[in-house]
């Protein structure tokens, strides 16, 4: 039986993407060697990402741009978005993956990179719906009303305004022009390359910290499963991990890295400052969570293999906070 050109059967792909809503699944992706417009996607809940990559390369020897990492559906902000976090940078793969996902119900792709490279996004196109019921060539009702009001205003003979009123109006118009000029000047100011570089470095640092935390939790899970191997409790451990532990770790999501990547691409100072402020707000949310969530403390102090989630995250957040001031 021939291999599916996109790496997996669509139904199987949908099943694993649904599972990724509760816990990210391991993945390998590539550009198809058979159809240059398509991407190859292989997902697996058990095999390590590198092993999934090896599997992809064996099944699709003509595939190029092979990368591996994790895949998950964005359940918090956009349920149609699939987020791939890959081991290293690649360009132009997002559009291919998006096309390969056609028919699965997921229409958008975001690719983040563990090395901190700028993210790649492929979002669905949004068409503009034309008006319904309008007569071609006829002005809209509001325009007709405005014309009528204008005609009435012209036919009237209002009294001439006093010099004081004229002066006041001129002053107001002058102030408005100055305000508009100030806004335009702020918009025209170019974004700072130094700040953009800090945004890129900060995104890289956060993605690295997030990967480190996930690796520690995965190590803990493996140690627990090893301890209770062959016992009935293993199933309960898997359920607890998926329902309690992984959701807690997923609070350290990719929102900060995405916002910083967006800020690093800003072309004017105003947009750069606005996005930087939004990034600091996300950082504050992480800081509050890591300081108040008791499960993080429990994970760090577990009896199987002590972790360092809280100090790792707090240290990184402090460094990022200093860099983003």
pLDDT tens sequence across 18-73: 999 988 999 999 999 889 899 999 999 988 899 999 999 999 999 999 999 999 99
Q: What is the pLDDT of residue 114?
A: 79
Q: Do residues 289 and 208 share a domain?
A: yes
Q: Do residues 203 and 303 share a domain?
A: yes
**What residues have CB less than 8 Å from 71, skipping those under 6 apart?**
17, 20, 24, 25, 26, 27, 41, 43, 82, 83, 84, 85
Q: What is the pLDDT of residue 190?
A: 92
pLDDT of 248 higher than 90: yes
Q: How many domains does the chain have?
A: 2
**What residues have CB less than 8 Å from 97, skipping those under 6 apart?**
29, 39, 41, 82, 84, 109, 111, 122
Which residue, 122, 152, 181, sits at the end of a domain? 122
DSSP state, residue 129? P
DSSP 3-state of 59: helix
Cβ–Cβ under 8 Å, residues 277 and 260: no
Q: What is the pLDDT of residue 324?
A: 86
pLDDT tens sequence across 194-212: 999 999 999 999 999 999 9
DSSP 3-state of 24: coil
The half-sphere exposure of 285 on its side-chain side, counting CA atoms within 13 A, is 12
Mean pLDDT computed over 66-89: 90
Do the domain assignments include residue 83? yes
DSSP 3-state of 143: helix
pLDDT of 159 higher than 70: no
pLDDT of 281 higher than 50: yes
Write down the pTM of the prediction: 0.50
Domain hosting residue 83, numbered range: 10-122
């Amino acid at each position: 039986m021939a291999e599916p050109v996109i790496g997996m059967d669509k139904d199987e792909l949908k099943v694993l993407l649904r599972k990724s809503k509760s816990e990210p699944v391991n993945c390998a992706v590539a550009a198809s060697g058979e159809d240059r417009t398509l991407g190859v996607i292989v997902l697996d809940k058990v095999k390590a990402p590198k092993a999934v990559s090896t599997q992809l390369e064996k099944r699709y020897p003509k595939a190029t741009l092979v990368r591996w990492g994790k895949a998950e559906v964005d359940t918090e902000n956009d349920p149609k978005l699939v987020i791939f976090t890959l081991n290293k940078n690649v360009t132009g793969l997002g559009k291919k993956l998006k096309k390969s996902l056609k028919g699965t119900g997921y229409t958008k792709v975001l690719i983040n990179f563990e090395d901190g490279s700028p993210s790649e996004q492929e979002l669905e196109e949004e068409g503009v719906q034309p008006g319904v019921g309008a007569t071609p060539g006829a002005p809209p009702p509001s325009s007709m009303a405005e014309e009528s009001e204008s005609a009435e205003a012209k036919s009237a003979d209002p009294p001439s305004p006093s010099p004081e009123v004229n002066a006041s109006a001129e002053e107001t118009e002058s102030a408005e022009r100055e305000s508009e000029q100030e806004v335009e000047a702020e918009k025209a100011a170019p974004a700072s390359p130094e700040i953009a570089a800090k945004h890129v470095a900060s995104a890289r640092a956060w993605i690295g910290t997030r990967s480190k935390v996930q690796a520690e939790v995965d190590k803990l899970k493996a140690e627990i499963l090893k301890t209770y191997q062959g016992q009935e409790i293993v199933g309960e451990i898997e359920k607890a991990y998926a329902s309690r532990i992984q959701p807690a770790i997923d609070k350290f999501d990719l929102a900060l890295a995405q916002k910083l990547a967006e800020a690093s691409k800003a072309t004017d100072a105003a947009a750069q400052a606005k996005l930087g402020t939004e990034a600091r707000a996300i950082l504050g949310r992480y800081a509050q969570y890591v300081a108040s969530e008791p499960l993080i403390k429990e994970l760090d102090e577990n009896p199987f293999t002590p972790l360092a989630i809280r100090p790792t995250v707090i240290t990184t957040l402090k460094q990022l906070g200093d860099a983003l001031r």
